[in-house]
Amino acid sequence: MRSRGFIILVFLVPSMNGVTSLDLTRNRRDDACQIDQNQRIDCYPESGSSHQGCLDRGCCWLEPPGGIHNIPWCFKPSGGATGQITRAPINVDPKCATTPEDRRVDCYPEPGSTKGGCESRGCCWQASSTPGVPYCYYVEDKDIGYKVDSISADKSSAAISIIKAGHWANPVNNLKLDIYRETPKRLHFKITDPNNKRFEVPITTPVPSNDAGDTTEYDIQIVEEQFGIVVKRKSSGAILFDTSIGPLTYADQYIDIATSLPTSYIYGLGEHRGQFWLDPKQHRKLGMWARDIPPSDNVNLYGSHPFFLAMENDGNAYGVFLLNSNAMEVTLSPTTPVTLRYKTIGGILDFYIFTGPSPNEVIEQYLEVIGKPMLPPYWSLGFHNCRWGYGGSASMREVIKRLRDNGIPFDTQWNDIDYMTEHRDWSYDTNTYGELPAIVKDLHDHDQKYVMILDPGISSTATNYASYDEGVQDDIFIKDADGNNLVGSVWPGETTYPDFTNPKAEVWWERQGKRFHDQIPYDGIWIDMNEPSNFVVGSTKGCTNNRYDNPPFTPVMAGGNLRDKTICPSSKQYLGMHYDLHNMYGHFEGIATNELLTNIRKKRPFVLSRSTFVSSGKYVAHWEGDNNSDWYDLKISIPEILNFNMFGIPFVGCDLCGFFGTTTDELCTRWFQLGTFYPFMRNHRDNKGPHQDPMSPDFTSTTQASIKKTLLLRYRILPYLYTSLYLSHTTGQGVARPLFFKYPTDQTTLTIDDQFMWRDGLLVSPVVTQGGQQVEAYFPNDRWFDFYDGGEIASTGKKVTLQAPIDKINLHIRGGTIIPVQEPDVTTTASRKKNFGLIVAPTSTQTAEGTLFWDDGDSLDSISGGHYNIIDFKLSGSKLIGTPTKSGYQTTMTLGSVDVYGIPANPARVMVNGAEMAHTYNAQTKALHIERLHSDLLQPLIITWS
């Protein structure tokens, strides 16, 4: 949620004004600049764009309406050709002229770059036509950076000393490289200052080891003369990581390291919004500094996840993770080979490289380091309903009643900040929401749940406010540079910020939660504004002018500085300075809130967090923030979901129908269809427009019926989703995945992000454009069946036109998959009492397999205590076998129906555990249907047909 309303962003980013030495003549007509803003091709993608600089390139300069930040102001004229360029003779130092563009290391990354300023640093200045290549760069003659002094006998460490520091203050003169061959597929190396303690990220990771010995799938080479580290894949010789392309810079508040990549297919590096594939030709410059900002393209958003996955040309995959929580900038440059550069303003270099070789294995290896995701309670898989501004108890009751009266599957009702007394945490407005205790009781009486929002800012001006008074007494608030409680401003007015890295704050937080739970027995908690957000810059009295509030280099970011929309970086916390801990604020609040719910409810906790960091998935779910009610936000939600499944937070979703603005019947219908396949499904909007719950009176009856239909589909497939989340919890696999995770050698799949899969079994092909009645869906070379009737897709390995009427989302099962389903009902509690079903999609050789995980859905110890069931299903020819491989949860699990697709002819007889069973057969779709079964899934099952 929040800050409410639309904003215009002003970016203060490093300047690269490198065109003043060129004599350009423009050869175009002014009407060539009359281009739709969505079709503009950026002509000045590097920093420092200006009106004159743009014209000097023979390009167009035109501000988009409202100064929209993600539309280029400097763009190529129609036809794409810029003006004719004539260059005056330029005397270039021979050392500069011989430096290839892909090896140019930025010598002036901070604002203010000029030719004179560059050369005063002893660096080269030369213009480039390649976006992202610096104009000011170090001379490539080994006179800058570090050299290796010594290498240990076992080549697991090296002593490194500085050659020349460049212009950065407080360089680290001596470094230490430690290499850990931790597993055959995981390499870990750290570059640290052996003489001074620097900040290291306080999350749990495996103890460094050299357990892999000589069994590794990677080779390591240390370049000594000008230090670099090169990592190769043994099987193919592909260079996965190569920092020898330029000098390392390692100063007190500036670390700069670059690597070449063997591919242009890069994914991850969040949290950012845009297409899933980080195409280097777009010159992506990605800032990481948690920020309260409505989701916008190409800016730093709510979280920080410095991990990327790369697909090599032969279909192998690998991943790279930099464990660093400081403000960071990562740049992808379309050089040959592609260059990726990290610039961070603190901490250490702590790298992990994962060799896969499959994409799924890369994610599993990454999560072995950062921790596997939590298993959410089963009720949280259902449909969640919310809005900001119900107006009071009566309106809440009305919405709940109309959903129930119309049989809408619906598990959880939420409240946004309007339920509070003057926006104060751990309070509710007894005037407008006086019936809230009764409403929550009514929800519980109907097997439904209640979740409310909390913001971290605690009002510091309210009288007799226990949360603040006890926080002061316990001394748990973040301090300013002078040692006083830092005061900012959020929804309650002036606020203080709990320091969740302080163990005393966790105790204080739980005490507040227990007191409120005694009044309102909530079931889950939504934590928002936890970047942390601040409506004033830094604090009510501003920030210092010291080197932490004003560092010598600021990564590219919205607002242009570290303190904008948040608290002062110089603030003091229990574990260190906010300068180092900012990106982890929401992460530590998520841990404290997870513990609060666990200790108070004694059941599996559900926490939804806006801001996340590496390993937050162990504790929280995530949603993508305050999106817009438009078709672009619908479509772009897919790569957002895919990214967080790679980041180890698979229980993720976006606000259905959009948060800002007013939705339409068509948009909301299509969004509910897509949202059915968000692992986390919530409808939510702001306080300015009409209701958009499924039975909103502003929707037509046709829309209401279509949304109900898709919600019934959601509840039908929950056993498959729950099993997928269990596998994610135990193995680290993602739930929502891009197609190339299953088909890594299919080049077409590498850029698809308007379709996706649930695990390897279901292919989702939604409508994401207004007026769409068809979908051009790509089907990799495999066997595919329509989920609903079993009809087989005849063509594979190409796009197929699918009909998509307004009440349908196209869904297909991959051959070789068995999907467990369940008869849907109005709540997950009611659905769990219904019969199960199986949908069987065979390969061309008539084989398939699947798994069903089942427990009580709520216990803390169901897995650790072995209180769960696992049933494995296998198809071979015309025999389907169900085997309970784990039976630790005493319950009733009844199989009521089985559908088998791709059966060439109507069987004469179907046998279920030796008894003949009636069946039906659809000759058109070649689907066998068996119903009225009463088979115990906790006993062996054999179904045959002939």
Number of neighbours of residue 553 by Cβ within 10 angstroms = 19
pLDDT at residue number 68: 44
Nearest to 687 by CA among 331, 395, 332: 395
Measured CA to CA, the distance from residue 599 to residue 851 in angstroms comes to 32
Instruction: Report whether 365 contacts 186 (CB < 8 A).
Output: yes
What is the H or E stretch that residue 308 is in?
strand 305-311
Number of neighbours of residue 44 by Cβ within 10 angstroms = 22
Pick from 140-149, 467-476, 726-735: least confident = 140-149
Instruction: Report whether 819 contacts 790 (CB < 8 A).
Output: no
pLDDT at 203 over 70: yes
Reported confidence tier of residue 934, pLDDT bands at 50, 70, 90: very high
- Chain mean position to CA 554: 24
Higher pLDDT, 799 or 134: 799
In the predicted model, what is the mean pLDDT of residues 281-296?
93
Helix (H, G, I), strand (E, B) or coil at 364: helix
> Residue 138 is which amino acid?
Y
Number of neighbours of residue 503 by Cβ within 10 angstroms = 11
Percent of the chain whose predicted confidence (pLDDT) is above 90: 82
Locate tokens 């929309």: which residue? Answer: 565
pLDDT at residue number 167: 84
714-731 b/e (C-beta count within 10 Å ≥ 16 → b) = bbbbbbbbbbbbbbbbee
Question: For the whole model, what pTM was predicted?
Answer: 0.91
Catalytic site residue from 101, 140, 364, 531 = 531
In the predicted model, what is the mean pLDDT of residues 364-368?
98
Alpha-carbon dihedral sign for residues 404, 410, 411, 415: negative
Alpha-carbon dihedral sign for residues 492, 496, 498, 501: positive
Supply 101's token pair: 């563009």
Query: How does pLDDT run across 712-722, given as a tens digit for each residue?
Result: 999 999 999 99
470 is catalytic: no
- Chain mean position to CA 731: 19
Instruction: Report whether 671 contacts 634 (CB < 8 A).
Output: yes
pLDDT at 351 over 90: yes
pLDDT at residue number 284: 86
- Decide the pairing of beta strands 524-527 and 449-454: parallel
Query: How does pLDDT run across 889-929, given as a tens digit for each residue?
Result: 999 999 999 999 999 999 999 999 999 999 999 999 999 99
Instruction: Report whether 353 contacts 320 (CB < 8 A).
Output: yes
- Decide the pairing of beta strands 174-183 and 157-164: antiparallel
Higher pLDDT, 184 or 29: 184
CA angle 684, 687, 689 (to 5 degrees): 85
Instruction: Report whether 105 contacts 244 (CB < 8 A).
Output: no
Alpha-carbon dihedral sign for residues 654, 656, 657, 658: negative
User: What does the mean pLDDT of the chain come to?
Assistant: 91
pLDDT at 81 over 70: no
Percent of the chain whose predicted confidence (pLDDT) is above 70: 91
Query: How does pLDDT run across 607-629, given as a tens digit for each residue?
Result: 999 999 999 999 999 999 999 99
Longest dimension (CA), the chain: 92
The DSSP annotation for 716-772 comes to: HTHHHHHHHHHHHHHH---SEE-GGGT-TT-GGGGG--S-EEETTTEEEE---STT-
Measured CA to CA, the distance from residue 674 to residue 802 in angstroms comes to 16
Q: Classify residue 482 as exposed, middle or buried by CB count within 10 Å of its CB (0-12, 13-18, 19+).
A: exposed
pLDDT at residue number 4: 36
Listed in sequence order, the DSSP H helices in 385-461 are: 393-405, 436-445
pLDDT at residue number 36: 64
Measured CA to CA, the distance from residue 916 to residue 910 in angstroms comes to 6
Reported confidence tier of residue 841, pLDDT bands at 50, 70, 90: very high
Query: How does pLDDT run across 727-785, given as a tens digit for each residue?
Result: 999 999 999 999 999 999 999 999 999 999 999 999 999 999 999 999 999 999 999 99
CA angle 603, 609, 610 (to 5 degrees): 170
What is the H or E stretch that residue 505 is in?
helix 503-519
| Gap between the terminal Cα atoms of the chain | 58
- DSSP letter for 277, please: B
In the predicted model, what is the mean pLDDT of residues 572-576?
98
In the predicted model, what is the mean pLDDT of residues 119-126?
87
Query: How does pLDDT run across 387-439, given as a tens digit for each residue?
Result: 999 999 999 999 999 999 999 999 999 999 999 999 999 999 999 999 999 99
Supply 805's token pair: 């009427």
Half-sphere CA count of 514, side-chain side, radius 13 A: 12
Reported confidence tier of residue 71, pLDDT bands at 50, 70, 90: low
pLDDT at residue number 28: 31
pLDDT at residue number 107: 87
Reported confidence tier of residue 101, pLDDT bands at 50, 70, 90: confident
Locate tokens 């590219």: which residue? Answer: 556
Nearest to 571 by CA among 649, 501, 652: 501
Measured CA to CA, the distance from residue 219 to residue 660 in angstroms comes to 51
pLDDT at residue number 58: 66
In the predicted model, what is the mean pLDDT of residues 194-216?
95
In the predicted model, what is the mean pLDDT of residues 646-673?
98
Catalytic site residue from 56, 528, 589, 782 = 528
Measured CA to CA, the distance from residue 598 to residue 254 in angstroms comes to 40
In the predicted model, what is the mean pLDDT of residues 74-88?
51
In the predicted model, what is the mean pLDDT of residues 355-376?
98
Query: How does pLDDT run across 499-550, given as a tens digit for each residue?
Result: 999 999 999 999 999 999 999 999 999 999 999 999 999 999 999 999 999 9
Measured CA to CA, the distance from residue 594 to residue 268 in angstroms comes to 26
| Category of 565 on φ-ψ map: left (φ > 0), alpha (ψ -120 to 50) or beta | left
528 is catalytic: yes
pLDDT at residue number 103: 76
Locate tokens 């009440």: which residue? Answer: 807
pLDDT at residue number 6: 29
pLDDT at residue number 24: 24
199-225 b/e (C-beta count within 10 Å ≥ 16 → b) = bbbebebeeeeeebeeebbbebebeee
In the predicted model, what is the mean pLDDT of residues 468-480?
98
Reported confidence tier of residue 18, pLDDT bands at 50, 70, 90: very low
Measured CA to CA, the distance from residue 407 to residue 754 in angstroms comes to 31
